[in-house]
Homo-oligomer: A and B are copies of this chain.
């Protein structure tokens, strides 16, 4: 059976995976870009942007695992965009432009359905109103035997962890204190008992944690 994986998900010291006050100009709210500064210099991010160069140290070693072997992503609606409630504007096609970096089917969890959107480069956005297990079944089928990535945000990852559906998880702990936003770890008491956890720090100041299901 294919694996369910989380990659490159950043949290602050106080456990926030995104800040407060998401808006069109602020996908991560008041966190700004601070949760992801470790990622931008990596070769993986440069490649994603179609740019040469980039670092190839430990940050990139982790970052580069995001794509290979993944056949579909599941994300929460708040990762897809800042709108809440019924879609006032179906022109919104995500933060990522015409050619999003996913290049696979992407399943967006929402109570407000919309027609599927075909983007350039193989990314297809499907909108589904489903439990984590149901969404995973759909994503697995679409992934054609490859792995499924749970893309975030924090509450989506938390729901998949609570349902014990995640096999591998890479979390980057960023040494900042956000104080508000959405927490990743809430209500996941003794999560560590279900995983082998490894930690490795990077010269960037970030610590990469990997959780591997026992």
Residues of A within 8 A of B (CB): 13-15, 173, 175-180, 183, 185-192, 197-202, 205-207, 209
Contact = CB atoms under 8 A, between A and B. Distances in A.
B178 A13 contact: no
Copies in the complex: 2
A183 B179 CA distance: 11
Contacts of A201: 199-201, 207
Contacts of A14: 15, 183, 185-186, 188
A213 to B, nearest CB: 15
Contacts of A180: 189
Nearest to A185: B14
Q: Interface on chain A toward B: helix, strand, loop, or mixed SS?
A: loop
Contacts of A198: 205
Contacts of A173: 13, 173, 199, 207
Contacts of A199: 173, 175, 201-202, 205-207
Nearest to A11: B13
A177 B13 CA distance: 13
6 nearest A-B residue pairs (beta carbon): A179-B189, A14-B185, A199-B201, A175-B197, A177-B191, A201-B201
Nearest to A208: B201
Contacts of A175: 192, 197, 199, 209
B207 A189 contact: no
Contact of A177 (B189, B206, B207): B189
Contacts of A179: 185-190
A123 to B, nearest CB: 32
Given A14-B15, A187-B179, A207 B207 contact: yes
Contact of A189 (B178, B191, B200, B202): B178
Given A173-B199, A177-B188, A197-B205, 6 more contacts: A14-B183, A176-B190, A177-B185, A177-B189, A199-B202, A201-B201
